[in-house]
Structures are given as C-alpha cells and as structure tokens.
Amino acid sequence: MIIGRDKEQRELHEAYESEYSEFAVVYGRRRVGKTFLVRETFNYTFTFEHSGVAKGNMRVQLRAFRDSLADAGMGKVKVPEDWMEAFSLLRQLIRQSKERKKVVFIDEIPWMDTPRSNFVSAIEYFWNNFASARKDVLLIICGSATSWIINKVLKNHGGLHNRVTYRLPVMPFTLYECEQYMKSRKIQASHYDLLEYYMVFGGVPFYWSLLTRGQSVAQNVDRLIFAEDGKLRYEFNELYDSLFHNPEKYVRIVMELGENGSGMTRDELVKQCGLEENGRTSRMLEDLEECGFIRKIPTYGLKNQATFRLIDNYTLFYLKFVKHNTANDEQFWTHNYLSSLRSAWVGLAFERLCFLHIRQIKMALGISGVVTNVFAWRVGPSADGKKGAQIDMLIDRADNLVNICEMKFSHNEYTVTKDDADSLHHKAERFVTETGCRKSVNLTMVTVSGIAHAGYWSEIHNSITSEDLFKT
C-alpha cells in the first residue's frame, strides 16, 4: 500500500495512458521509496524490468542486463559485448511484446554507467532512434545518485537534451504522511512522539519502517543509530556515497551548515569550505537542494543574495550527536534525553521541521490561495548602537502583510516572556526601518502545544501549533 505520492502516481498513470511514447525520470535520495512507488503503481508488472548492480564493472552490468532480458521472456541470449548491443536486444524484446503499452523500468541506472562504457550514448540512441519513434513505449529510469540523474539526464546537453517528458522527484514524507504510515503499521504514537521521530529521522520512509512497536522514541533511536549493530549507525556515509560522485565536498558543505544554525551565504560557504568559485560549486549546492538536504532561502530586499540552510533532520542529528559519540555509548539518547545537549538541539531541529511544512503554516494562517514568498533577513548592529536582528522565516504576502515567524519548541504550552516580546518587536522595528517595507507586520509564533494565556501572549498576532503541521 502506497502512502501519499498521489501526484507521482497520477503522473505515471498519465504517462501510461498517453498516445505517445513517454520518458519518465524518477529520482530522489536513498531510502525514500522510489522503487516501491514505481512497482506499486504498475502492480509489479513490466515489459522489462532491470536494476543496475552496485559497484559492478561493465561486464557484470551487461551480464545482469542479459539475465533481466531472459526473465522478461527473451530466451537464451549471449552476454552483450557493449551497451549498444544490449539495447538492441531490448528493442527486439519490445517488438515481440503484444502489450498495448510497453513499460520499461530501469532502476539504479547510475550504477550502469561505469567508466568508458558509453552507457549514456547507448540509452540516448535507444530513446531517440527507436522508442520515441513509436507510440507505445513508456521508459522509466530511476536512481538515487541524484547528481548523476541531474547532470547526465535532466541537464544533458547531448542526445537526451529536453527528451525527458515526466520529471518526478520523490521527496521525504510530511508529518501527515508519517502519521498515516504509522497507522498503517498499527504503531501508536502521539503527535509529540511523531514530532520527535521526525526531528531525528526526517520523513524518509525506510527509517520509519524500522521503528518497533512498544518502544519509546529514545529506545528506537538508540537501537537504530547508537547500537553497534544499529541499522542506521553507518547510514550517513552510505547516504552521501550513494548520491554523489566524490561526496567529500558535499559532506564538507553540510557539515559547515550543521555548525551554523543561522545559515550561510554562498560566499561564506566558499570561504569556509575551501570551495572553488565556479560552476562546480553551484552544481553541488543545486544537487544538495534537489535531494532535500539544504534549502536556498532568498534574502528579503536583496535579489542576488540568499542564505543556505541545512534542513535534513537526519543529517543534522548525525552531525550533532552521532559523529561526536566517541565513547560509543549504545544508549546515548536515553542517557541524554533530559540533558542540555538535547535542549540545545531540539529548538534547531523543530525550526528545520517547520521549514519543511511551510505549506501547512500558510494553511494555518488562512493564506493558501495568497501569493507568498518566503525569505530570511538579517542585519548587523547599527551605528547608533541598536543591536543586530535576524529573522529566520519571513512570509511576504500579496495581501499586504508580512509574517515574521518565530519557532519555539516546548512540550507544554509556551509562555511568551518579556524577552521574547521585546526580541520580536525589535526584529520587526529594524526590518521596517532597514527595508522600508510598507506592509503591516504580524508577529507569528509556531509552537508545539500553543501559547499559554499568560505573560506577554497578547503581543503575538498569530499562533500556530504542531497540530496545524500535521494537516495534509
């Protein structure tokens, strides 16, 4: 049973029903459910299905391709000499098929492009000179090596340029989808527990599939991440290795962003990470954004300036705790559940969670149909002694309002203090003064359980709770 993915399923069905041949690319980070989506959508029935072999050389890849042809009814054929011959055999299989639409599903396709194999040229020739000339082929390629998919296929400047007809990025689950998934597995968990799970694992379905009924959040986290045989203990390196060629620089970027909760500009990243000031750096940032690891947030009032932030919760958790767990404490999270370490992390993690649910925040504000732009904004101390100000989330609305959003994590209702109110008013005042914004400014707070009617609660114009974030 597929949870969510309604848009992706709809587009795949649309491609299948098309009166022309279609070329669909399904891509996303490791463990996000790409293969499951395609197989479930087509009820595990394909004219031809094949998966690349991890770390297999060209000969291994071709032998596996031959085996998949045999499984599809090709009969006995010798191992192709090269990829041109391999796709020639696939053409024969398609010609023999009596199905109305020939669905060809090639999974983990980046693994097939081994050095000097000319794989990309072969699939270009297959599509341009055979499949696209027919009206009955649906070619679906799928892969986790997102940088390969983006640069070799989606941004191809050769034979595959503008050939893809359906582009389907598969992103992690939202809170709503995670809740539905837990219900489907009959695992009882409060919204508070689901928030905690999300702040550790993000919305990656595979990670959630490993949760065990009857265990607390801390027990599940310890078992999966901190135990010596934990299934996610070494996930970080495997994750980035699977997605990016030469992942070291990608990891350097996310590590730097993990240390800077307020985000960094491109220039700051180039300087701190020792990156080259060229298109390669831009491509790496785009790749990380495509995978959902980072987000580029434009700066209000400055067209060419933006802040990059790490928004992948699993990566943030790893960098904050797992990387530095030198004592190899297998119950680290249980032992530190009430510590200052967790308290310092949880606010940042909740903020990142909110950035992944901006649509839900807009719904809670009643502005789903209003054109909006989300910005960050910051300013240093002024010459007359006014302290600096930083706004992490600013929603600029076409209905002549601006929401300055502050995210606060607490188990119970949050009590707005005088310091909170003064800080928000200061941010609003400096924002209006420095930018010349003429729109009304609403002070908005996103909390877990709402705002207590005490202290300075009346200073807040809009209150959004975690219940709002669970909406579809």
pLDDT band (50, 70, 90) for residue 225: very high
**323, 326, 331, 332 alpha-carbon torsion, rounded to 10°:** -60
| Residues 6+ positions from 448 with CB-CB distance below 8 Å | 192, 195, 350, 409, 410, 411, 414, 465, 466
110 pLDDT higher than 90: yes
| Residues 6+ positions from 39 with CB-CB distance below 8 Å | 105
| The predicted structure's pLDDT at residue 145 | 73
Neighbours of 8 (CB within 10 A): 23
| Residues 6+ positions from 3 with CB-CB distance below 8 Å | 173, 177, 180, 181, 184, 205
Condensed to tens digits (0 to 9), the pLDDT of residues 144-193 reads 877 788 888 988 888 888 899 999 999 999 999 999 999 999 999 999 99
CA–CA–CA angle 464, 469, 472 (5° rounding) = 130
211 pLDDT higher than 80: yes
- Tokens 């799928």 belong to residue: 142
| Residues 6+ positions from 444 with CB-CB distance below 8 Å | 365, 395, 403, 404, 405, 406, 460, 461, 462, 463, 464
206 Cα distance to chain centroid: 13
3-state DSSP call for residue 378? strand
Long-range contacts, 17-21 (Cβ 8 Å, 24+): 18/138, 19/135, 20/135, 21/131, 21/132, 21/133, 21/134, 21/135, 21/136, 21/137, 21/138, 21/139
17 pLDDT higher than 90: yes
Averaged pLDDT of the chain: 93
| The predicted structure's pLDDT at residue 405 | 96
| The predicted structure's pLDDT at residue 156 | 84
Beta-bridge mates of residue 393: 405
| The predicted structure's pLDDT at residue 303 | 84
| The predicted structure's pLDDT at residue 351 | 94
CA distance 259 to 172: 23
| The predicted structure's pLDDT at residue 196 | 96
Condensed to tens digits (0 to 9), the pLDDT of residues 230-239 reads 999 999 988 9
Burial of 303 per CB tally in 10 Å (0-12, 13-18, 19+) = exposed
136 pLDDT higher than 80: yes
The secondary structure element, H or E, covering residue 299 is strand 294-299
324 pLDDT higher than 80: no
| The predicted structure's pLDDT at residue 159 | 82
**Spatial CA neighbour of 262 closest among 402, 375, 376:** 376
**Spatial CA neighbour of 318 closest among 225, 256, 382, 392:** 225
pTM: 0.92
Condensed to tens digits (0 to 9), the pLDDT of residues 332-383 reads 999 988 888 888 899 999 999 999 999 999 999 999 999 999 999 999 998 8
| The predicted structure's pLDDT at residue 382 | 86
Beta-bridge mates of residue 298: 306
| The predicted structure's pLDDT at residue 377 | 94
3-state DSSP call for residue 19? coil
The secondary structure element, H or E, covering residue 161 is none
166-169 vs 22-27, strand pairing mode: parallel
| The predicted structure's pLDDT at residue 417 | 94
Q: Residue 226 carries which side chain, given as an amino acid letter?
A: F
Running DSSP on this structure, what letter comes out for residue 316? Answer: H
Show the domains of the chain with their CATH numbers: 6-169 (3.40.50.300), 173-346 (1.10.10.10), 357-469 (3.40.1350)
Condensed to tens digits (0 to 9), the pLDDT of residues 45-104 reads 999 999 999 999 999 999 999 999 999 999 889 999 999 999 999 999 999 999 999 999
